[in-house]
Chains A and B, each alone.
Chain A
Amino acid sequence: MIPAAFEYHAPSTVGEATALLAKLGEDAKILSGGQSLIPLMKLRLANPLHLVDINGIAGLAYIREADGVLRIGGLTRESELEESELVRTRYPLLHDTSRVIADPVVRNLATVGGNLAHGDPANDHPATMLALGAEVVAVGAKGERRLPIASFFTGPFATSLKPDEILVEIRVPMPPARSGGAYLKLERKVGDFATAAVAAQLTLGANGVCDQVGIGLTNVGLTPIKAARAEAALKGKTPDEATIKRAAELAAEASEPAADLRGSVEYKKDLVRVLTARALRKALERARAGR
Chain B
Amino acid sequence: MLVKLSINGEKHEADVEPRLLLVHMIREVLRLTGTHIGCDTTHCGACTILMDGRPVKSCTMFAVQAQGKQLMTVEGLEQGGKLHPLQEGFMAEHGLQCGYCTPGMLMTSYAFLKKHPSPTEDDIRWAISGNLCRCTGYVNIVKSVQYAAAKISQGGS
Interface residues of A (CB under 8 A from B): 1-8, 10, 31, 34-35, 38-39, 42, 51, 53, 55, 79, 102-106, 108-109, 190-191
Nearest Cβ in chain B — how far from A23, in angstroms?
18
**Contact partners of A55 in chain B: CB under 8 A:** 65
- B54: Cβ under 8 A from any A Cβ: yes
**Stretch in B4-12, B42-50, B70-78, B135-143 touching the partner:** B42-50
> Which of A2, A3, A103, A191 has the most B CB atoms < 10 Å from its CB?
A103
Q: Are B130 and A106 in contact (CB under 8 A)?
A: yes
Partner of A104, one of B1, B61, B127: B127
Complex Cα gap A1–B21 (Å): 9
**Contact partners of A106 in chain B: CB under 8 A:** 42, 57, 60, 130
Q: Tell whether A4 pairs with B19 under 8 Å between CB atoms, given A79-B54, A108-B56.
A: yes
Complex Cα gap A228–B106 (Å): 47
Q: Are A109 and B61 in contact (CB under 8 A)?
A: yes
Partner of A7, one of B18, B21, B40, B45: B18
Q: Are A109 and B56 in contact (CB under 8 A)?
A: yes
- B15: Cβ under 8 A from any A Cβ: no
Q: Are B60 and A34 in contact (CB under 8 A)?
A: yes
Q: Are A103 and B129 in contact (CB under 8 A)?
A: yes
Partner of B130, one of A10, A42, A190: A190
**Contact partners of A104 in chain B: CB under 8 A:** 55, 108, 126-127, 129-130
- B64: Cβ under 8 A from any A Cβ: yes
Q: Are A105 and B48 in contact (CB under 8 A)?
A: yes
- B62: Cβ under 8 A from any A Cβ: yes
Q: Tell whether A38 pairs with B60 under 8 Å between CB atoms, given A6-B19, A105-B45.
A: yes
How many residues of B sit at the interface, in one of the four size bands?
Answer: 20 to 34
**Contact partners of A53 in chain B: CB under 8 A:** 64-65
Q: Are B60 and A109 in contact (CB under 8 A)?
A: yes
Closest to A41 in B: B19
Q: Tell whether A105 pairs with B55 under 8 Å between CB atoms, given A7-B18, A8-B18, A10-B67.
A: yes
Q: Are A39 and B18 in contact (CB under 8 A)?
A: no
- B13: Cβ under 8 A from any A Cβ: no
Complex Cα gap A5–B18 (Å): 7
Closest to A1 in B: B40
Nearest Cβ in chain A — how far from B101, in angstroms?
12
- B17: Cβ under 8 A from any A Cβ: yes
Complex Cα gap A235–B103 (Å): 52
**Contact partners of B42 in chain A: CB under 8 A:** 35, 38-39, 102, 106
Q: Are A35 and B18 in contact (CB under 8 A)?
A: no
- B41: Cβ under 8 A from any A Cβ: yes
Nearest Cβ in chain B — how far from A159, in angstroms?
22
**Contact partners of B45 in chain A: CB under 8 A:** 103, 105
**Contact partners of B130 in chain A: CB under 8 A:** 102-106, 190-191
Q: Tell whether A105 pairs with B18 under 8 Å between CB atoms, given A1-B40, A10-B67.
A: no
Q: Tell whether A108 pairs with B19 under 8 Å between CB atoms, given A35-B60, A55-B65.
A: no
> Which of A6, A7, A105, A108 has the most B CB atoms < 10 Å from its CB?
A105
Complex Cα gap A156–B66 (Å): 31
Nearest Cβ in chain A — how far from B81, in angstroms?
29
Nearest Cβ in chain A — how far from B56, in angstroms?
5
- B144: Cβ under 8 A from any A Cβ: no
- B146: Cβ under 8 A from any A Cβ: no
Complex Cα gap A31–B62 (Å): 10
Nearest Cβ in chain A — how far from B47, in angstroms?
10
- What are 24 A-B pairs at a CB distance below 8 A? A1-B40, A5-B18, A6-B18, A7-B18, A8-B1, A8-B62, A10-B64, A34-B62, A39-B41, A42-B40, A51-B62, A53-B65, A55-B65, A102-B42, A104-B126, A104-B127, A105-B108, A105-B130, A106-B130, A108-B56, A109-B61, A190-B130, A191-B43, A191-B130
